[in-house]
């Protein structure tokens, strides 16, 4: 996954995860659905304007549809600080490419340039630009000097709920537990946490296969002594590994 | 080295939560103005979290914890280091003044847009005169494919209002279509200007071909009476879109400029916005005039009156762009 590295004047370096074209497409499909829904609402509402004449009702509907399609992204990204409904749903956010706050002129510019990114249809130009750009920018982002980030999930999961407190043989070996924490991929931890939270809802065979795969991944990162993992099923191993990763 | 991450998290969590709460409030209430002590507290929390991130960077490689603190520091960084003035309400009066100023600041790009359109116009004129059979290609609009004489005779002898009950919706359609064309002309600037140049030239070709067709057939007065009332505003608006597209292209290319591309784009962003909004406002007027005035000819509306109206509009627009702001 592409990342944007920023060094602050204090000398601290941080990186921001850039949204993938697939995530952006999913967010856009939600926004597209919202726009279709709004056009239906406008169509219905235009019926109420019929009292002033069918001609004016059509004119108002045409203008409302045009304004809503043009202003949707601009207004939401302005008021929600870089998020539309779709972006909020998928945890994406538009920010200045230097990590600074998004400005109204940038919001308008990136939305005006959608017309070029959309060409020849279904955002083909924009998606191609995203794939080849170092910062994952479509042409509108390039001109507005913006990037789309994937916001980090900020909250720790409720470890007690997903893996009730028991003796954890992996935590008895703090140096190996620390090595596990340092090597693990956050995405894999998220998958493991979700799998543990939903484990009672799985088909028994799928449950066994899923936890076998996850346990295999965690085992490949750090080799604990046989005595520490003896008798642990794959699911118990994953649970112990997650607790060790969160230091509990 | 952080030997006990759980203890480290427990010690620092209270500061992270406090910073998170401030950032959340800033997101929910964009207009929130902090007091001096609140700003100082935000700055302290930002520095403390930055220090935590630096500790995690140097002594540990915990990706989950790092990602969390990193997201806090990045959000706080945007708030702390943003030096551009906050923009709350839209100041329409200021925007009205910004439009002609932005136009004048980039007069060279406007001249280039006019030149490209005139070049296209000359091409369309000569192509039409050299090969009248190419009419359908040069001006692909069904309403213009009839010989000028047929159209003029039909519209001048019309006894009924052919747009009766459709004027408002026709006007709305014209507004939205012309704004889309103008936005596209601007947006194509991002193709390093190639798209904008093509659109301006193509627009010129169509105008040149139409002019050649009607002037060649001896209907110059009809052409002026038909085009001028709305064209006096619509054509300059599209040229303004072209101007903005060329300015955008210039900022992307950056010939002979030492500033970074990001800085160049940032420096023209407000001007592009002002020009785009100004052009859109002009096209709303042009749409009204085209539906309610331009489609009516002699004897309903004398050509002299329509031409004078168009010239008056053009003069007013020129004075506004040259003097206002």
Average pLDDT over residues A209-230: 89
Domain end among A89, A122, A150? A150
Q: Looking at residue B316, what is its pLDDT?
A: 96
Q: Looking at residue A51, what is its pLDDT?
A: 79
Q: If you write DSSP's letter for every residue of A83-117 in order, what string do you get?
A: --HHHHHTTEEEEETTS-PPPHHHHHHHHHTHHHH
Report yes or no: A15 at the B interface, CB cutoff 8 Å. Answer: yes
SS3 for A150?
A: strand
Q: Which of A7, A11, A12 would best serve as a mutation to test chain B binding (most B beta carbons within 10 A)?
A: A12
Domain end among A150, A182, A209? A150
Examine the domain organization and report whether A18 and A138 are in the same domain: yes
Count the domains in chain A.
Answer: 2
Chain B: nearest CA to A217, how far in angstroms? Answer: 16
Q: Looking at residue A103, what is its pLDDT?
A: 85
Contact by Cβ (8 Å): B268, B251 = yes
Q: Looking at residue A157, what is its pLDDT?
A: 55
Q: Which residues of B touch A96 (CB under 8 A)?
A: 78
Domain containing A241 equals: 159-245
Examine the domain organization and report whether A177 and A123 are in the same domain: no
Chain A: nearest CA to B218, how far in angstroms? Answer: 36
C-alpha pair distances (Å), B189 with each of A113, B103, B193, B256: 9, 16, 4, 19
Q: Which residues of A touch B89 (CB under 8 A)?
A: none
Examine the domain organization and report whether A141 and A194 are in the same domain: no
Q: Looking at residue A199, what is its pLDDT?
A: 83
Q: How confident is the model at residue A161 (pLDDT cuts 50, 70, 90)?
A: low
Buried/exposed A162-187: b ≥16 CB within 10 Å, e otherwise: bbeeeebbbbebeebbbbbbeebebe
Q: Looking at residue B4, what is its pLDDT?
A: 64
Chain A: nearest CA to B236, how far in angstroms? Answer: 19
Q: Which residues of A touch B195 (CB under 8 A)?
A: 116
Q: Which residues of B touch A109 (CB under 8 A)?
A: 269, 272-273
Q: Are the Cβ atoms of B265 and A143 closer than 8 angstroms?
A: yes
Examine the domain organization and report whether A9 and A107 are in the same domain: yes
Examine the domain organization and report whether A211 and A90 are in the same domain: no
Q: Which of A152, A165, A248 would best serve as a mutation to test chain B binding (most B beta carbons within 10 A)?
A: A152
Domain positions in chain B are 5-81, 92-323
C-alpha pair distances (Å), A53 with each of A60, A102, A126: 11, 43, 41
- How far apart (Å, rounded) are the C-alpha atoms in residues B237 and B177? 13
Nearest to B262 among A139, A145, A151 (CB): A145
Q: Which residues of B touch A108 (CB under 8 A)?
A: 273, 276
Chain A: nearest CA to B68, how far in angstroms? Answer: 5
Examine the domain organization and report whether A138 and A220 are in the same domain: no
Q: Are the Cβ atoms of B77 and A182 closer than 8 angstroms?
A: no
Q: Looking at residue B126, what is its pLDDT?
A: 95
Task: Write out the two tokens for A110.
Answer: 């990136």
Which residues of chain B are under the pLDDT cut of 50?
Answer: 60
Q: Which residues of A touch B25 (CB under 8 A)?
A: none
Examine the domain organization and report whether A115 and A227 are in the same domain: no
Q: Which of residues 64-83 of A touch B (CB under 8 A)?
A: 66, 79-81
- pTM recorded for the entire structure: 0.77
Q: Does residue B1 or residue A10 have the better pLDDT?
A: A10
Least confident range of A133-137, A193-197, A216-220, B107-111: A193-197
Report yes or no: A97 at the B interface, CB cutoff 8 Å. Answer: yes
Q: Looking at residue A1, what is its pLDDT?
A: 66
Examine the domain organization and report whether A66 and A19 are in the same domain: yes
Task: Write out the two tokens for B255.
Answer: 């010939």
Q: Looking at residue A26, what is its pLDDT?
A: 94
SS (H, E, C) A197-217: HCHHHCCHHHHHHHHHHHHHH
Chain B: nearest CA to A179, how far in angstroms? Answer: 9
Domain end among A116, A150, A184? A150
Report yes or no: A14 at the B interface, CB cutoff 8 Å. Answer: yes
Q: Looking at residue B86, what is its pLDDT?
A: 55
Examine the domain organization and report whether A170 and A230 are in the same domain: yes
Q: Looking at residue A8, what is its pLDDT?
A: 79
Examine the domain organization and report whether A21 and A122 are in the same domain: yes
Nearest to B24 by CA among A155, A147, A87: A155
Q: Does residue A101 or residue B17 have the better pLDDT?
A: B17
Q: Are the Cβ atoms of A181 and B5 closer than 8 angstroms?
A: yes
Q: Looking at residue A156, what is its pLDDT?
A: 56
Average pLDDT over residues A68-96: 90
C-alpha pair distances (Å), B122 with each of A51, B113, B135, B200, B227: 49, 14, 15, 13, 18
Examine the domain organization and report whether A38 and A141 are in the same domain: yes
Q: Which of A105, A108, A184 would best serve as a mutation to test chain B binding (most B beta carbons within 10 A)?
A: A105
Q: In chain A, count of helices (H) and strands (E)?
A: 13, 4
Q: Which of B172, B194, B278 would best serve as a mutation to test chain A binding (most A beta carbons within 10 A)?
A: B172
Residue that the structure tokens 């600080």 belong to: A81
ipTM for the predicted complex comes to 0.81
């Amino acid at each position: 996954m592409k990342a944007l590295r920023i060094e602050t004047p204090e000398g601290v370096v941080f990186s921001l995860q850039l949204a993938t074209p697939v995530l952006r497409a999913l967010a856009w499909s939600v926004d597209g659905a919202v726009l279709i829904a709004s056009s239906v609402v406008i169509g219905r509402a235009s019926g109420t304007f019929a009292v002033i004449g069918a001609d004016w009702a059509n004119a108002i509907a045409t203008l409302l549809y045009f304004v809503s399609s043009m202003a949707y992204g601009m207004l939401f990204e302005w008021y929600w600080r870089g998020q539309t409904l779709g972006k909020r749903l998928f945890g994406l956010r538009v920010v200045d490419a230097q990590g600074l706050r998004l400005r109204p002129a940038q919001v308008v510019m990136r939305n005006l340039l959608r017309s070029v990114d959309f060409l020849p249809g279904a955002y083909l130009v924009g998606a191609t630009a995203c794939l080849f750009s170092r910062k994952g920018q479509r042409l509108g982002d390039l001109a507005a000097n913006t990037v789309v980030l994937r916001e980090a999930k900020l909250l720790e999961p409720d470890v007690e709920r997903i893996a009730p407190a028991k003796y954890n043989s992996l935590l008895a070996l703090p140096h190996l537990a620390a090595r596990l924490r340092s090597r693990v991929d956050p995405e894999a931890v998220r998958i493991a946490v979700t799998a543990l939270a939903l484990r009672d809802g799985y088909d028994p065979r799928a449950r066994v296969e899923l936890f076998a795969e996850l346990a295999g991944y965690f085992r490949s990162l750090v080799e604990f002594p046989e005595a520490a993992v003896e008798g642990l099923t794959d699911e118990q191993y994953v649970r112990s590994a997650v607790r060790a990763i969160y230091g509990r | 080295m952080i030997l006990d991450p759980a203890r480290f998290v427990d010690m620092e969590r209270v500061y992270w939560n406090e910073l998170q709460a401030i950032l959340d409030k800033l997101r929910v209430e964009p207009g929130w103005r902090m007091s001096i002590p609140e700003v100082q507290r935000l700055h302290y929390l930002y520095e403390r979290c930055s220090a935590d991130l630096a500790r995690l960077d140097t002594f540990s490689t915990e990706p989950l914890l790092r990602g969390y603190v990193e997201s806090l520091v990045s959000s706080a960084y945007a708030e702390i280091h943003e030096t551009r003035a906050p923009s709350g309400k839209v100041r329409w009066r200021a925007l009205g003044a910004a439009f002609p100023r932005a136009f004048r600041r980039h007069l060279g790009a406007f001249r280039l847009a006019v030149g490209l359109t005139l070049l296209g116009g000359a091409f369309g004129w000569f192509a039409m005169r050299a090969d009248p059979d190419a009419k359908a290609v040069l001006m692909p609009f069904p309403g213009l494919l009839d010989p000028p004489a047929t159209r003029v005779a039909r519209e001048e002898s019309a006894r009924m209002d052919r747009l009766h009950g459709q004027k408002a919706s026709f006007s709305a359609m014209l507004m939205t279509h012309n704004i889309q064309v103008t936005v596209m002309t601007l947006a194509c600037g991002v193709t390093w200007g190639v798209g904008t140049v093509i659109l301006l030239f193509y627009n010129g070709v169509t105008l040149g071909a139409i002019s050649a067709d009607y002037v060649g057939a001896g209907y110059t007065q009809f052409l002026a009476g038909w085009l001028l009332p709305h064209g006096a505003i619509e054509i300059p608006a599209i040229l303004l879109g072209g101007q903005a597209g060329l300015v955008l292209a210039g900022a992307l290319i950056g010939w002979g400029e030492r500033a970074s591309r990001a800085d160049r784009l940032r420096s023209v962003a407000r001007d592009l916005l002002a020009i785009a909004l100004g052009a859109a406002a002009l096209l709303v007027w042009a749409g009204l005039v085209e539906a309610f005035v331009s489609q009516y000819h002699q004897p309903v509306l004398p050509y002299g009156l329509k031409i004078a109206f168009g010239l008056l509009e053009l003069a007013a627009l020129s004075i506004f762009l040259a003097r206002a702001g």
